[in-house]
Homo-oligomer: A and B are copies of this chain.
């Protein structure tokens, strides 16, 4: 893939993830790297750190867009970290920098990233993440995947 032209895929999830979520995130990070895509994330722990770790192990490039003013809380597995000092407003930057978003589990921060990505018309793939409904009817905006392989394949296909 030509330099400067790879797809960018965001991986979103909780900074305090469970074992299953971290294992998925690491695998997603690895597959993103192997596909020659760039990984974008919020740069902290949990799912973010695991995804960066998987990406690093496969020789990939990852970006962590941090909420704070410094790098102290950054995952050590990131290729580059960007302290924004914007607090939760940085969630919009994670999504803006990505062509597609993969959400793994996640809390309200992840939900905001899912929503911002959908607002911007970017494909969102979920691995056991938030479920959305209105007036009792499911809103099928998040593409559901059941494995890291499926999640990455679907995300990359959606932006091909």
Contacts and interface: CB of A to CB of B under 8 A. Distances in A.
24 contacts: A3-B79, A4-B81, A61-B80, A63-B80, A63-B82, A82-B93, A84-B96, A84-B97, A85-B88, A86-B86, A88-B92, A89-B93, A91-B92, A92-B92, A108-B141, A111-B118, A115-B115, A128-B134, A128-B135, A130-B132, A130-B134, A131-B136, A132-B133, A133-B133
A89 B85 contact: yes
Contacts of A69: 87, 96
A78 B134 contact: no
Specify how many copies of this chain sit in the oligomer.
Answer: 4
Contact of A4 (B77, B85, B108): B77
Query: Does more than half of chain A's interface fall in helix, strand or loop, or is it mixed?
Result: mixed
How extensive is the interface on chain A, given as a class?
35 or more
